[in-house]
Structure 1
Amino acid sequence: MSQSSNGFVEGFNTFVSWGNGLIWGNDDWLIMNSPWFGLLVFVLIGAGLFFTVATRFIQFRHFGHMWGLLRTSGQGRKDGGISSFEALMTSLAARVGTGNLAGVAIAVYVGGPGAVFWMWITALVGMSTSFIESTLAQAYKVPHNDNVYRGGPAYYIERGVGQRWMAVLFSLCLLVAFGLAFNGVQANTIAQATNEAFGVPTWATGAVLVALVAPVVFGGLRSVARVAGKVVPIMAMLYIFLALFIIITNFSLFPVAIAHIVKSAFGLEQAAGGVLGYGIAQAMINGIKRGLFSNEAGMGSAPNAAATAKSHPDHPAVQGFMQMLGVFIDTLVICTATASIIILSGVVDPNVEQEGIQLTQLALSQYVGDLGVYFIAIAIFFFAFTSIIANYSYGESNLEFISGSKNAKPAIMIFRVVVLVMVFIGSVASLPAIWNFADLSMGLMALTNLAAILILTPVALRILRDYERQIKEGKSPDQITFDPDRFVKLKNEANRDAWDD
């Protein structure tokens, strides 16, 4: 490689690192005297608090109703479309992956048990953000000839905010981050865990992954939803049951572990050692960052799945509630399960370098022996596999938005092949420069989405009030309706064909 090429690569990597530091922050803030949180963390948490107040603490007021909607979530689908439940499972497929198993382990290792507390807070605040963005995605969705709706931030940015360039920027960032790079990350995690547990060469795992992913992605969005709707609930329940078994069999230690989490979150344990500020900072930054990465609230990814559904009741607010539930399950349930296993095991050693997925495997092996290593390898295989296909579906939807539905077929075929190539490359190679660029793309994507939903907050709040009014009137799920004509802004912006009935 020429000297000029080396200089370009070095300059590009420096720019990406600078951008990530600005957006995501720097863990070494005390040493480098730089901000300990980046711009995005402040905006995400600030927006979440604003949405929580604006919706009158919707995540607490409607907590029971949120779960109750699961009863009818399988209904509403027609003509081969996607149900509310399948849309939820697709978004969970993307959320539940390396962040829940490896990411939690990293947060606990670097930030201490207190990081878990800040993950909880991030999820509780993020639930209201998820409601706003997913409700807007439903309100601005458009029909498609395959009977699966399309929608998401790109669509409500273009129609609601009226800025096509901003919508295209969002779509391009999502394509880079979720459509390509993060699929490589998921494949890499699968390959490493399988190699650790069974000694399978990474190239072999990559080949198997490509063979499994190919028929799903070539089947389109409906195929992704069907597979996610079957795999995600089974694996999530198995993982949760295993965590509950460990908690129950070690119940005398569980209250101690919870107290350990809370004390560490507020530096009560570190105060005795004279490192109060540093301990709190490390717990907060790692808990919040890992929590945001895991539940994706505000990132603009889950709304792409939310928009595809034909909900029951047929109202945009329903997918808002369902995606709030997704954030809760991802962080408050599955991430907490991982954290409980790790903390109760006592295997975390700050003096020994421990990697994320291997730390989770080591912790589980303390309870069930080598079976724990194998189980985590299998769990991460299915969790990350479903993340790959869900990430692909997000990419396809946004690629179609950029190119237009009539001209999208050639681009989508090329995209499918590139995704499969990226899955194989990710399995056999570690490409930190690409992952860093993906982080930057995801950060820009999130900032763009947050700007849009803050602008469109009044629309989402009016939709919420319309839904709450019908609930108070005692209407059954079959009687609840949504009519864009009842909203001044949506009257001219919502797609009429998506709400023709």
Structure 2
Amino acid sequence: MPDFFSFINEVLWGSVMIYLLLGAGIWFTVRSGFIQFRYIRQFGKSLKNSISPQPDGLTSFQALCTSLAARVGSGNLAGVALAIGAGGPGAVFWMWVTALIGMATSFAECSLAQLYKERDRHGQFRGGPAWYMSSGLGMRWMGVLFSVFLLLAYGLIFNTVQANSVAHALRYAFDFPEWITGAMLAIATLLVIVTGIKGVARLMQWLVPVMALLWVTTSLVVTAMHIGQLPDVIATIFKAAFGWREAAAGALGYTLSQALTAGFQRGMFSNEAGMGSTPNAAAAAASWPPHPAAQGIVQMIGVFIDTIIICSASAMIVLLAGPVAHTNSPEGIQIVQQALVNLAGSWGAGFVSLIVILFSFSSIVANYIYAETNLIFLRFDSRKALWILRVGIAGMVMVGSMLSLPLVWQLADVIMALMAITNLTAILLLSPVVALIASDYLRQRKLGLKPVFDAARYPEIESQIAPGTWDDLPRQ
């Protein structure tokens, strides 16, 4: 079975996904007017505006923290280490490329999710790829297919990845039994997810900034302690990214391919741009200013924070520790623990365990919100169905804590590719709508106006969106 999934991954990630991700990212960068580069200086202002509370939905900041909770998981620690182990230091460069290009893809999918959102029976905004596939493209069957993929991924497989990293981290640091870790994590997850989307969002808006700051600060301190090695590490990343170091040995093609594949796989697993997951959080926000592009821009910040900041923090620790750190252990999280121990002392293993608990727990909880949202789209959101989902997630957390890591990552890569292919197909078909949203937002900004989306200006779109989502929003 591992050989089968390995073969599927080679087919999907060896060519199909890399070309699709690169192509989509470049396409939306152009169609959106290079929006990720034009607005990078306004990220701070966008974050400030995102805190304003609005009725009927989460604040944009809560939606950002919820999506970051799902993004910032074991992939930011174990995934980075595995990428470096599989593709060398050059994989880090291609993770950065994935993020910069993926920001435009994230803008596209999250803006579309905002545009086509609807209210659930409790008045809370819901939406995501399934909604824009159904309403924007008129292809409900495609939305159903995507929802099934997402339920498999976020209800089952990805949670095993997170639990697996926590269990191995605690075993390495404290010799803690995996089954006890799984049981405690499952119980904690159940206690939080029963509070629903608003309860989860309120927790994430405090937990996510704290845990991210803890890890990034630690990386900065460790880097400062070994500042003399930093120029060599950065030079190695760039040289290995293009195979310059290996060219003389005749291994250029293979090494470049490995770096590309590993960087794109782990980069996408971490920042999720184009996968179709973060739009489920983006749609839940009552965006301010009231324009679909505003939430798209806020969610672009999430891609930047996740990969350019947090993944880079992990990469610095692993690379500063030298080749020993990523060759002695087959477990991604143990590579990070070993690296921090080598650089800073014995406390490193326990500290990484704490960080991975926070990262993974927040991801599992946010994953539930994504799964719940898609149950609503499938109209299987009865009380009984929601409890089956909750118990199923808790069960997969238990199972994941005791599975072998290679099989878990291979399953995650396959389902991630299937989700991404479905979602990228949809947003590429809807790219004229993305271009319209971006140009409408940029036009109003250029005129010095507060962007407000007036659906009446676009009759074809107005006929597709849910009544009351854009015409009844409060104006301030």
Please indicate the TM-score interval, normalised by the length of the shorter structure: over 0.9
Q: TM-score under structure 2 normalisation?
A: 0.95
SS at match of 1:297: coil
Aligned ranges for residues 319-468 of structure 1 at < 5 Å?
A: 319-348=295-324, 352-403=328-379, 408-430=382-404, 436-468=410-442
- The separation in 2 between residues aligned to 1:325 and 1:54, in whole angstroms, is 19
SS at match of 2:126: coil
Alpha-carbon shift at residue 236 of structure 1 (Å):
0.1
**Equivalent AA in structure 1 for residue 12 of structure 2:** I
- The separation in 2 between residues aligned to 1:302 and 1:467, in whole angstroms, is 21
- The separation in 2 between residues aligned to 1:189 and 1:119, in whole angstroms, is 20
Which residue of 82, 85, 88 corresponds with 1:106? 82
Query: Using a 3 Å threshold, how does the CA distance of structure 1 residues 411 and 281 change in structure 2: closer, same or farther?
Result: same
After superposition, give the CA deviation of every residue in 1:34-81 in whole Å (9 maximum; x if it has no partner): xxx2312211111111111222221111111233201121113226x3
1:214 counterpart = 2:190 = yes
Alpha-carbon shift at residue 419 of structure 1 (Å):
1.0
Count of residues paired in the alignment: 472
Query: Using a 3 Å threshold, how does the CA distance of structure 1 residues 371 and 434 change in structure 2: closer, same or farther?
Result: closer
Aligned ranges for residues 108-147 of structure 1 at < 5 Å?
A: 108-147=84-123
Q: Is the 8 A contact 2:9 2:410 kept in 1?
A: yes
After superposition, give the CA deviation of every residue in 1:330-381 in whole Å (9 maximum; x if it has no partner): 1100111111111112144676454311111111112321111111100000
- Which consecutive residues of structure 1, in runs of 5 or more, have no partner in the other structure? 1-9, 25-36
**Equivalent AA in structure 1 for residue 426 of structure 2:** A
Q: Is the 8 A contact 1:176 1:438 kept in 2?
A: no
1:53 counterpart = 2:34 = no
- The separation in 2 between residues aligned to 1:281 and 1:421, in whole angstroms, is 37
- The separation in 1 between residues aligned to 2:252 and 2:101, in whole angstroms, is 25
- The separation in 1 between residues aligned to 2:228 and 2:157, in whole angstroms, is 43
**Equivalent AA in structure 2 for residue 23 of structure 1:** L
**Equivalent AA in structure 1 for residue 449 of structure 2:** K
Q: Is the 8 A contact 2:135 2:464 kept in 1?
A: yes
- The separation in 1 between residues aligned to 2:9 and 2:81, in whole angstroms, is 22
Which residue of 279, 284, 291 corresponds with 1:315? 291
- Name whichever of 220-229 and 119-128 sits farther off: 220-229
SS at match of 1:233: helix
Which residue of 158, 182, 195 corresponds with 2:134? 158
- The separation in 1 between residues aligned to 2:411 and 2:180, in whole angstroms, is 27
Q: TM-score under structure 1 normalisation?
A: 0.90
Which residue of 200, 203, 206 corresponds with 2:179? 203
Q: Is the 8 A contact 1:191 1:205 kept in 2?
A: yes
Q: Is the 8 A contact 2:155 2:392 kept in 1?
A: no
- The separation in 1 between residues aligned to 2:282 and 2:351, in whole angstroms, is 31
Question: Paired residue for 2:214?
Answer: 238
1:498 counterpart = 2:438 = no
Aligned ranges for residues 19-34 of structure 1 at < 5 Å?
A: 19-24=8-13
Query: Using a 3 Å threshold, how does the CA distance of structure 1 residues 349 and 235 change in structure 2: closer, same or farther?
Result: closer
SS at match of 1:428: coil
- The separation in 2 between residues aligned to 1:306 and 1:473, in whole angstroms, is 26
After superposition, give the CA deviation of every residue in 1:3-51 in whole Å (9 maximum; x if it has no partner): xxxxxxx7xx777555434322xxxxxxxxxxxx231221111111111
Query: Using a 3 Å threshold, how does the CA distance of structure 1 residues 49 and 357 change in structure 2: closer, same or farther?
Result: same
**Equivalent AA in structure 2 for residue 38 of structure 1:** S
- The separation in 2 between residues aligned to 1:303 and 1:482, in whole angstroms, is 18
**Equivalent AA in structure 1 for residue 190 of structure 2:** A
- The separation in 2 between residues aligned to 1:367 and 1:200, in whole angstroms, is 24
Q: Is the 8 A contact 2:329 2:335 kept in 1?
A: no
Question: Paired residue for 1:64?
Answer: 41
Which residue of 182, 185, 198 corresponds with 2:161? 185
Superposition RMSD on alpha carbons, in Å?
A: 1.9
SS at match of 1:493: coil
After superposition, give the CA deviation of every residue in 1:91-147 in whole Å (9 maximum; x if it has no partner): 111111111101111111221111111111111111100000000000000012434
Question: Paired residue for 1:5?
Answer: none
SS at match of 1:121: helix
Which residue of 452, 462, 471 corresponds with 1:481? 452
Q: Is the 8 A contact 1:400 1:412 kept in 2?
A: no
- The separation in 2 between residues aligned to 1:15 and 1:106, in whole angstroms, is 20
Work out the percentage of aligned pairs sharing the same amino acid.
Answer: 49
**Equivalent AA in structure 2 for residue 140 of structure 1:** Y
Alpha-carbon shift at residue 408 of structure 1 (Å):
3.1
- Name whichever of 199-208 and 118-127 sits farther off: 199-208
Question: Paired residue for 2:17?
Answer: 40
- The separation in 1 between residues aligned to 2:7 and 2:323, in whole angstroms, is 35
Q: Is the 8 A contact 1:347 1:362 kept in 2?
A: no
Question: Paired residue for 2:241?
Answer: 265
Q: Is the 8 A contact 1:193 1:358 kept in 2?
A: yes
SS at match of 1:313: coil
SS at match of 2:52: coil
Question: Paired residue for 1:74?
Answer: 51
- The separation in 2 between residues aligned to 1:243 and 1:440, in whole angstroms, is 31
Query: Using a 3 Å threshold, how does the CA distance of structure 1 residues 254 and 300 change in structure 2: closer, same or farther?
Result: same
SS at match of 2:234: helix
- The separation in 1 between residues aligned to 2:249 and 2:6, in whole angstroms, is 33
